[in-house]
Structures are given as C-alpha cells and as structure tokens.
A = this chain, B = another copy of it.
Amino acid sequence: MSRADTLPAAANADAGTARVELGELGTSLGFMMRIAQLRLFERFFERFGGLDLKPGEFSLLWVIHLNPGIRQGGLAHALRIKPAHMTKLIRKLEEQGIVTRHIPDDDRRSVELTLTEPGKRFVEERQADFFGADDYHGNALTRAERLQLAELLQKYCGPDWWHE
C-alpha cells in the first residue's frame, strides 16, 4: 500500500500517537477529583505501603481516638460509610486488637467504640506522618495552597450537607 509512512486517512490525523486533547475535561471538577484521588492513593502506597493499612482505616482510628466512646452509627455517619460496611471494618479492627466494642447499659442496641492501648499507640506514632506536609500530602503545593484546596473541597460540599 502507498501510505506506510505518509499521513493516515484525513479524518484521523495523528490517530493514536499524538498528545490527547482533553478540552474542558481538564478543568472539570468531576474528572479532576477522580484523577487527583488516584494520584493520592499512588502516593499513599508509596509512603505507607509497608504498613498493611488502607487510606480509610487510619481515618477510622483517628476519629475513634478523638471521640472515645463514639457510637458505631455516629462514626459511620461522620465518615459517610454505610452502617453495613462499618460493621465489617470494625470487626476487623477488633480482631486485630486495635479497637474495643462496648455495649452500654443505657442502650443495649448500640455499640461504643474506643481504642485499645496498642491502638492508641499506633495512632499517636503515625499521626505526624498522616497529617504531615510530605510527598503524600502534596509537595507540589505550598502549605497555604494545601489548606486552600481542602477549604475549597469543603465549600464544594456545601454547609448544609457538611453539618447535617
């Protein structure tokens, strides 16, 4: 054929190899949030891969640490995790000896959560890493930009939803 290293069909100029044009997608919040989250996970595992701890799990421990005796449902709501899923997550942490479940006398349907001593130590030792200003948290951003980014994300959610 006569088109081996000449142009492909006119309609398909640069088919495949050229840089991909994203247009408005590059400033679309939906797309950018997804991409940024993928990047964040990548960095998380570069940083904490050896720990056998998933991003969401530290959040869980952190909130129990700050709110000892929090009820399982309250935790689920604060973190936007479905109660059915929370049951599994807490069960696992309990088996690992990190979290204690306690059924209070004044409402025996509910479950109150606290960290065990090893659990507390675990959180306190890693707190600086997880909330620190390192690669994972965006070394490409200044401290002010990081804060601004978090605040814009909060504002995107809206106050009604945020404090509901």
Contact = CB atoms under 8 A, between A and B. Distances in A.
Interface of A: 1, 3-5, 8-9, 11-18, 20-40, 44, 55-56, 59, 62-63, 66-71, 73-75, 77-78, 80, 104-106, 110, 112, 114, 130-131, 136-138, 140-141, 145-159, 161
Given A5-B106, A40-B30, A25 B157 contact: no
- Considering the complex of A and B, which 5 residue pairs feature the smallest CB-CB distances, nearest first? A12-B69, A16-B71, A15-B69, A20-B78, A32-B153
B28 A150 contact: yes
Given A35-B80, A39-B157, A149-B153, A138 B20 contact: no
A109 to B, nearest CB: 11
Given A31-B59, A59-B31, A106-B8, A22 B78 contact: yes
Counted per complex, copies of this chain come to 2
A101 B8 CA distance: 15
Interface class of chain A by DSSP: helix
Given A138-B155, A140-B156, 16 more contacts: A1-B105, A8-B69, A9-B69, A11-B69, A15-B71, A16-B69, A16-B70, A16-B73, A20-B67, A23-B62, A25-B63, A32-B153, A34-B37, A34-B55, A37-B37, A149-B156
A153 to B, nearest CB: 4
Nearest to A75: B20
Contacts of A159: 140
Contacts of A66: 21-23
